Amino acid sequence: MDFLADIQAITGKNNAVADEPMAKHTTFRVGGAAKYAAFVSTASEIESLIKLCNDNNVQYYIIGNGSNVLISDKGYDGLMIIIGRNMSEISVEGETIRAGAGALLSAIGSKALNAGLAGFEFACGIPGTLGGACFMNAGAYGGEMKDILVSVDAVTPDGTVRTFNVEELGLGYRTSIFTKGGYVIVGALMRLHRGNYDDIKACMDELAYKRRLKQPLEYPSAGSTFKRPEGMFAGQLIEESGLKGRGAGDACVSDKHAGFVINKGKASAKDIYDTIQLVISEVKKQKGVILEPEVRIIGEF
């Protein structure tokens, strides 16, 4: 427990715990316990925790809202650094919004709406944080983070905080320089444009309606489970392979949208993992296409 005390010395006693169930911190609502978990408040805390882990040969992993991860039932034998409510500040200046990596996209959308700023509507319904959205260049309904980002602040592998201009981020379909590892996003600056409150609200409401109509929001999931193959749609390939409703245990491919693997209520992480593998296998066999999970898979399965 000395290592926990070292973590608490950095984050404060109330912001670090041992044996934290990761099912509490993922949108799949599954996952075993992390040996340690820290809820960070500043970039300097992240720097210090990474140095602590490296000095003690302890592995670490960074998550935000846990909306794009699948963590093993066996848990995580290391430190889970959680960037959430303690790094969720949002400020508006003119047509720009600066926010911490832990800010929920829905909260940023509300700030944009109240400031009469348009351009963020596409992201409002994505169930994640700004850090995760920048990490994977999140997008929906014709918009992507690359369209609105000005810069991203991140802790670099050498332990310093650096600001990356959007041109340096290597943003593509569900990828960025950050997906290659070594960097921890701590905040970002976005540029929107002036709009009419009622028009922005109407657009947000319309997209929210489309999500409710087409996506299985009533079940725990990680959103779209698979990346879109070039020139194709993962959901269409999965549906045409007859996989709707199929799965393992209490996990299955959604009947509402074949691109979603859902937890019907009592699924284990292994159930979800096995369902993902079933989809990959069947689509490869029937369509000759190898689907790649969009969800990051952590731990042993």
Q: How far apart are alpha carbons 37 and 139 in whole angstroms?
A: 29
Of the candidates 44, 38, 41, which has an alpha carbon nearest to the alpha carbon of residue 60?
A: 38
Catalytic residue among 67, 151, 221, 224: 224
For residues 8 and 147, give the distance between their C-alpha atoms in angstroms, rounded to a whole number: 39
User: Catalytic residue at 162?
Assistant: no
Torsion of CA 28, 138, 129, 260, to 10 degrees: -10
Are 111 and 104 in contact by the 8 Å Cβ rule? The answer is: no
Q: Is 225 within 8 Å of 263 (Cβ atoms)? A: no
- Pairwise CA distance, residues 111 & 91, whole Å: 8
Query: What distance lies between CA 275 and its chain's CA centroid?
Result: 20
In the residue annotation, 206 being an active-site residue is answered as no
Give the active site residue among 106, 246, 294, 296: 294
Residue 88 a catalytic site member: no
Which of these is catalytic: 174, 176, 254, 268? 174
**Non-local CB neighbours of 209 within 8 Å, separated by 6+ positions:** none
- Contact (CB, 8 A) for 64 and 26: no
Query: Taking a C-beta distance cutoff of 8 angstroms, is the pair 134, 163 a contact?
Result: no
Instruction: Enumerate the active-site residues.
Output: 174, 224, 294
